[in-house]
Structure 1
C-alpha cells in the first residue's frame, strides 16, 4: 500500500466506485467459485460437452470477451437473463455481513457506486447480505452496460456518462488488476485489492495507484488522511 502521505492526493475525489465480487467481500469466502461452477454446468448442458471441455470454453470466452456471457451471446445466442439467473443461483451464506465496511464507505465524501459485470438482482442480494445496501448511491450492472463488460473501455465511458462522473475526480477499486487499466487511462485513481483472485497475466502495474489487501483498512486510512486535511 502507498504511504500515508499519498492519501492527501485523494482530496479531490467525489466519486468512489467499487467492483462487487471479491472486492466488497473477501475472495476466500468462496462465493465466486460457486458461480464459476454453475457457468461450467450451463455450458455443459448448452453444448453437450464434458466438464473439462466446458471449462476450456468458459475460460476462452472470459479472456476473449472480458466475461463469459458476451461470448455465449455472440456465438450461441444465449439469453442473458436466463444465463445470469442460473449462474447466480448460489448460497450467499458463505459471505459474512460487514457493516463496518458499510460505515466506512458511507463516510467517504461524495457519491458511491457499485460497478459490476454481474446483474442487479444478484448484486442487490450480495449487498443486502453484506449490510452495504445503504452505503451506495447507484449500481451499474451488465444490463446497463448493454453486455459490453469491463475491461472494455466503452464500459467505463458508459458508467461515467450515465452517472455524470468526472473520471479525473473518481477512484475505482477492483480485485482484478487488468480491469483497472482502462480506468487509469481515462484519469481515475485506481486501487487494486490484491487477494489472489486475478486471473491471467498482469502486464505491469503502472496503472495501479494503490495496491492493498484489506479494503476496510485502506478506507480507514483514507478517511483519517482526509480528516487530517480538513
Structure 2
C-alpha cells in the first residue's frame, strides 16, 4: 500500500466526473438542462441563460445555490428536472468495482447532486452496493461543497476520523475544506469544467487522472504519482 494511504480507514468519493471519467461528457447533459431551466425561468435567450448559470456556479458553488438565493427556486423541482437524463454514456466498470471492494475500511459518496440521481449513476457503473453511506445536497441543507457545513456533517454522521480519511474529488477547490479538517486529499485532474478553479497546491496530497487506474495499483504500488 502507498504509505500516504496506509492509515486510511474511510474513503470518500465525489460522484460526477470522479467515479466515471469526465471524457464521457455525461455532465454535459445535465449542464444543458440547467441552461434550459434558467432560460425558461428568466424568459431570456440561451446566451443570457448560459451566462447566468455559469456565474451562479462560480459564485455559489452550484447553479442551484444561486437560483435558490436569487430566484427562490424549489430545489426538488430543479434537481428532478436537470437530472432527467439518459445514462447510456456510462457503462459498468468492473475494474473500479473490484478495486473499491479491495479497499480497507468504509467507502462513502459525497456529492453536490441528489441521492436519487447518485443511485442511478452508481447502479449504471455497477458499484451501487459498494458504499456504506452517502451525503447529498439535500442532506447538507443545499449548502454545496466547498461549504464547510457538508464536510462537518459527513464526519459527524458517519463518525469519521478526518486524520484517517481521504477525499477523492475532481474539483480542486472542494479539497481545501477536507485538508483543513486533516483529511488526505486526492485531486482527479481529468478535464472537468473549472476543475482547477481556485486550485491550491497546498491542499492537494496527490493528483491522479483516473480513479480506477489509481485504485488498481494502490495496494501494491508505493510510488503512485
Q: What band does the TM-score fall into relative to the shorter chain? A: over 0.9
The TM-score normalised by the length of structure 1 is 0.92
Q: Equivalent residue for 1:21?
A: 16
Q: Identify the residue that residue 220 of structure 1 maps to in structure 2.
A: 216
3-state SS of 1:171 partner: strand
Q: Aligned partners of 2:200, 2:138: CA distance in 1, in Å?
A: 30
How far is the alpha carbon of 1:203 from its aligned partner? 3.7
Q: Which residue of 1 aligns with 2:34?
A: 39
Structure 1, unaligned stretches of length 5 or more? none
**Where does residue 60 of structure 2 map in the other structure?**
65
Q: Distance in 2 between matches of 1:179 and 1:224?
A: 28
TM-score, normalised with respect to structure 2: 0.94
Which 4+ runs in 1 deviate beyond 4 A? none
Number of equivalences = 221
Deviation at 1:92, TM superposition (A): 0.2
Query: Greater helix percent: which structure?
Result: 1
- Going from structure 1 to structure 2, the CA distance change for 1:208 and 1:198 (only over 3 Å counts) comes to farther
The answer to whether the 8 Å contact 1:59/1:68 transfers is yes
- Is residue 2:106 matched to residue 1:111? yes
Alignment of 1:74-223 (within 5 A): 74-199=69-194, 201-223=197-219
CA distance in 2, matches of 1:60, 1:19: 22
Task: Work out the CA distance in 2 between the residues paired with 1:104 and 1:37.
Answer: 32
1:71 to partner: Cα distance: 1.2
For the aligned residue pairs, the C-alpha RMSD in angstroms reads 1.4
On the 8 A contact 1:35/1:87 being kept in 2, the answer is yes
1:106 Cα deviation (Å)? Answer: 1.2
Structure 1: distance between partners of 2:28 and 2:81? 14
Task: Please list every run of 5 or more consecutive structure 2 residues that lacks an aligned counterpart in the other structure.
Answer: none
Equivalent residues of 2:172, 2:200 under 8 A apart = no
How far the C-alpha of 1:29 sits from its partner, in A, is 0.5
Determine if contact 1:16/1:113 at 8 Å carries over to the other structure: yes
**CA–CA distance in structure 2, aligned partners of residues 78 and 54 of structure 1:** 15
Deviation at 1:225, TM superposition (A): 4.6
